[in-house]
Amino acid sequence: MTVQLPLKPTCRPCSLLGLLALIVAGKCSYSPEPDQQLTLPPGWLSLGRVDPEEELSLTFALRQQNLEKLSELVQAVSDPSSPRYGKYLTLEDVAELVQPSSLTLHTVQKWLLAAGARNCHSVTTQDFLTCWMSVRQAELLLSGAEFHRYVGGPADTHVVRSPRPYQLPKALAPHVDFVGGLHRFPPTSSLRQRPEPQVAGNVGLHLGVTPSVIRERYNLTAQDVGSGTTNNSQACAQFLEQYFHDSDLAEFMRLFGGNFAHQASVARVVGQQGRGRAGIEASLDVEYLMSAGANISTWVYSSPGRHESQEPFLQWLLLLSNESALPPVHTVSYGDDEDSLSSAYIQRVNTEFMKAAARGLTLLFASGDSGAGCWSVSGRHQFRPSFPASSPYVTTVGGTSFQNPFRVTSEIVDYISGGGFSNVFPRPSYQEEAVTQFLRSSPHMPPSSYFNASGRAYPDVAALSDGYWVVSNRVPIPWVSGTSASTPVFGGLLSLINEHRILSGRPPLGFLNPRLYQQHGAGLFDVIRGCHESCLNEEVQGQGFCSGPGWDPVTGWGTPNFPALLKTLINP
């Protein structure tokens, strides 16, 4: 929605125009967003300062209300033992609960008007406000900010960011969580194309993971597809200049989709779908979501970050806060190091996931492709958790490989599978028993100084992440690997279970974790062999955590056994 800012500010001395005058005169006190930092990723270069008259788009995250009540409602609608289970909130219900106070809305809008902001757009929940202004106005508005143009990434993407922290006037700080479009660089895909394993002979072997291999391993029959008679749907999100092409999907289904019913095209694109070359990441997401969740209407959220000051992931969150009717399942292959994000940003994004959970959305995020991760803090190595994988309000998907890479066999850990313990979020109550059991019983624990044992532990589940075939730009590409592959597969299977639930008159699964942990991973193949990678030093020698019976921070509860998982999740 477009926000009409007041036509002119009041002329009282305490007005926001007066505040802006004090800012100009250098006589205003400021409050910084905590621990802001701009970390220049490898391969990115500064092209210098931006023309002061150039236009910027900035997003202001306005302070929300009633977050404790929201948390309680999420627990109630997601817990099968609760009388409110499955009675999800509408977007309008969420808006009424969390929308900023009238004081916050009035104060921020007048502040922006005084600064010359224009073309401001809000969302249904009124807790985000995106406005246009010149660089000169933005640097005046956000003391300390200094906008530079950067170029980098595989597609030589251009972005505008501030290498310096900004500060808000202290009168504004209680009303704004953070300002988006200043510090966060677009993450690059961690998908890998691995060398083809060598094996003698080929009798009874497969030559990489395809939909038929997925369906065989996870025990899906030709009848395990969408009915085409419900309003069930599923979605994936693509960022940066990552696009899918309908022609690639058609070729993929021609090659690999002959033995199951499927839809021929994406039902809806939300956002801007560019005309550039297809990206492997976007192609993979669409092709495997639509072949695992076969014959189910599929949406693609496309947030390419067309304007250099936009943050694509933030644009996706805004879309979720502005649509009343959404697919029940969303899969996202996106992640940042927790330590690269400000606490204000990470906590607010976590609240956005809470809003989605209250509405009955299942958000699945890839766990990452760096194992436990590694970084040095004050000269000591530690594991490096990833976000949003570490959010307690999403279901995080790790990765596995076949024990024999050319046979449909039991699965072992894929050494890249992201997992570990959050340094930001405490362990949620739903996983207390499982994580305590792992910490008590695992025979291969890293030194305790490497991780925060009391943090939210992830992943929650896993699926095959090694050796996929993908069609991109009309070319079949083998041996593509990463948790970006396992995530849409698991999401597609949950969409099939939602199909059964909807046909039986039941609500979609919603936020899955409380139920998943209550049922101790029932319906999943337990992965008990293998460890993932971590710091290459003498102390841990490249080894992070190891899988074992039950839940573990490498493959979660395990990988889907579809008939058993359907039986477990169909009721109530």
pLDDT tens-digit series, residues 85-123: 999 999 999 999 999 999 999 999 999 998 899 999 999
When pLDDT is cut at 50, 70 and 90, the band that residue 11 belongs to is very low
**Cα–Cα distance list, 546 to 35, 361, 390, 549 (Å):** 33, 31, 18, 10
CATH code of the domain in which 496 resides = 3.40.50.200
Domain assignment present for 524:
yes
Task: Check residue 193 and give its pLDDT.
Answer: 60
What mean pLDDT is predicted for residues 64-89? 97
Task: Check residue 15 and give its pLDDT.
Answer: 41
Q: Are residues 175 and 251 in the same domain?
A: no
Domain assignment present for 18:
no
Task: Check residue 200 and give its pLDDT.
Answer: 42
Active-site annotation holds for 82: no
What mean pLDDT is predicted for residues 227-235? 90
Q: Which residues are annotated as a binding site?
A: 526-527, 550, 552
Task: Check residue 191 and give its pLDDT.
Answer: 63
Domain assignment present for 1:
no
What mean pLDDT is predicted for residues 137-164? 86
Indicate the range of 93-102, 279-288, 304-313, 318-327 predicted with least confidence.
304-313
Q: Are residues 332 and 418 in the same domain?
A: yes
Domain assignment present for 90:
no
Indicate the range of 73-82, 182-191, 553-562 predicted with least confidence.
182-191
Per cent of the chain over pLDDT 70 is 86
- Residue of 506, 470, 552, 498 lying closest to 193 (CA atoms): 470
When pLDDT is cut at 50, 70 and 90, the band that residue 284 belongs to is very high
When pLDDT is cut at 50, 70 and 90, the band that residue 205 belongs to is low
When pLDDT is cut at 50, 70 and 90, the band that residue 278 belongs to is confident
Q: Are residues 427 and 295 in the same domain?
A: yes
- Residue of 284, 324, 294, 299 lying closest to 233 (CA atoms): 299
pLDDT at 534 over 50: yes
Q: Are residues 134 and 232 in the same domain?
A: no
Task: Check residue 194 and give its pLDDT.
Answer: 59
Nearest 5°: CA angle at 406, between 403 and 410? 30
Domain assignment present for 533:
yes
Q: Which residues are annotated as a binding site for Ca(2+)?
A: 526-527, 550, 552
Q: Are residues 367 and 514 in the same domain?
A: yes
Q: Which is the catalytic residue, given 297, 333, 422, 484?
A: 484
Q: Which domain holds residue 104?
A: 30-64+99-180
Task: Check residue 529 and give its pLDDT.
Answer: 97
Task: Check residue 202 and give its pLDDT.
Answer: 46
Task: Check residue 240 and give its pLDDT.
Answer: 62
Contact 361, 212 (CB under 8 A): no
The span from the CA of 119 to the CA of 130, in Å, is 8
Active-site annotation holds for 216: no
pLDDT at 307 over 90: no
pLDDT at 531 over 90: yes
Contact 163, 146 (CB under 8 A): yes
Active-site annotation holds for 484: yes
Q: Are residues 337 and 275 in the same domain?
A: yes
pLDDT at 289 over 90: yes
DSSP readout, 370-428? STT--EEETTEEE---EETTT-TTSEEEEEEEESSTTS---EEE-TT---EEEEEEEPP
When pLDDT is cut at 50, 70 and 90, the band that residue 12 belongs to is very low
Q: Are residues 308 and 447 in the same domain?
A: yes
Per cent of the chain over pLDDT 90 is 70
This prediction has a pTM of 0.91
Indicate the range of 1-15, 37-51, 125-139, 360-374 predicted with least confidence.
1-15
Which of these three, 180, 199, 228, is where a domain ends?
180
When pLDDT is cut at 50, 70 and 90, the band that residue 201 belongs to is very low
Length of the chain: 572
When pLDDT is cut at 50, 70 and 90, the band that residue 272 belongs to is confident
When pLDDT is cut at 50, 70 and 90, the band that residue 397 belongs to is very high
Domain assignment present for 243:
yes
Contact 134, 54 (CB under 8 A): yes
Q: Are residues 253 and 368 in the same domain?
A: yes
Q: Are residues 296 and 149 in the same domain?
A: no
Q: Are residues 329 and 273 in the same domain?
A: yes
Which of these three, 160, 180, 200, is where a domain ends?
180
What pairs with residue 463 in β-bridges?
399
Q: Which is the catalytic residue, given 139, 251, 285, 338?
A: 285
pLDDT at 415 over 50: yes
What is the longest distance spanned by two Cα atoms in the chain?
85
What 3-state DSSP class applies to 432?
Answer: helix
Domain assignment present for 480:
yes
What mean pLDDT is predicted for residues 540-554? 97
Which of these three, 180, 203, 226, is where a domain ends?
180
Domains in the chain: how many in total?
2
Contact 389, 458 (CB under 8 A): yes
Tally of helices (H runs) and strands (E runs) in the chain: 14, 30
**Residue that wins the pLDDT comparison between 202 and 313:** 313
- Rg of the Cα atoms in the chain: 24
Q: Among the ranges 1-10, 12-21, 180-189, 454-463, which has the highest mean pLDDT value? A: 454-463
Mean pLDDT for the chain?
Answer: 88
What mean pLDDT is predicted for residues 507-536? 97
Q: Among the ranges 223-237, 299-313, 502-516, which has the highest mean pLDDT value? A: 502-516
Q: Are residues 401 and 266 in the same domain?
A: yes
Q: Which is the catalytic residue, given 127, 139, 177, 281?
A: 281
When pLDDT is cut at 50, 70 and 90, the band that residue 275 belongs to is low
Domain assignment present for 71:
no
Q: Are residues 241 and 337 in the same domain?
A: yes
pLDDT at 223 over 70: yes
Q: CB within 8 A of 166, min separation 6: which ones?
A: 32, 33, 36, 142, 143, 144, 145, 179, 182
